[in-house]
Amino acid sequence: MASVEDINKLLGSCAAELDHCAGLIRDAGLDPVKENIRRIGFALHNIFEIQHEIYKLKPELKPKGWDEPVSDKEQNRIFGELLIETEDLCEAGTPLSAIERFQAFISTSPGNHFEKMAKNEIAAIKSRYGV
């Protein structure tokens, strides 16, 4: 039977490999590039959510800096990428997926300013798409 430590280690390896794959997809031009990279982003997000649960159970497994707040500059970058991703989701006819992405972002406790912007985006999507 696998231990929590084994699972955490394997998830870390998987995340590193997925990150590497995203770069390879971009460099190779594997169409649809944007959609394929977005899919990897979702997979990474899911891995990080599982790791978050592991760290609640076993805080000693947290990597250094895991709990440190993200800088405003980095948060701006993350939010900008999220806006592009969610716009693509809405254009693809999946506004509920876009809302889920904003809700996942809010769950990371990004700070009041970014949380408010994300909530505004959710309201705009609901209004625009009637969801």
pLDDT value at position 85? 87
pLDDT value at position 95? 94
- Please name the residues in contact with 75: beta carbons below 8 A apart, sequence gap of 6 or more: 110, 111, 114
Q: Which two tokens stand for residue 50?
A: 């599982």
pLDDT value at position 107? 80
Cis peptide before 63 (omega within 30 of 0): no
How far, in Å, CA of 56 to CA of 62, rounded?
Answer: 9
pLDDT tens over the chain, length 131 residues:
999 999 999 999 999 999 889 889 888 989 988 788 878 887 888 888 899 899 999 999 998 888 788 788 888 888 888 898 899 889 989 999 999 989 988 887 888 899 999 999 999 999 999 99
Nearest Cα neighbor of 97 from 122, 124, 116, 76 is: 122
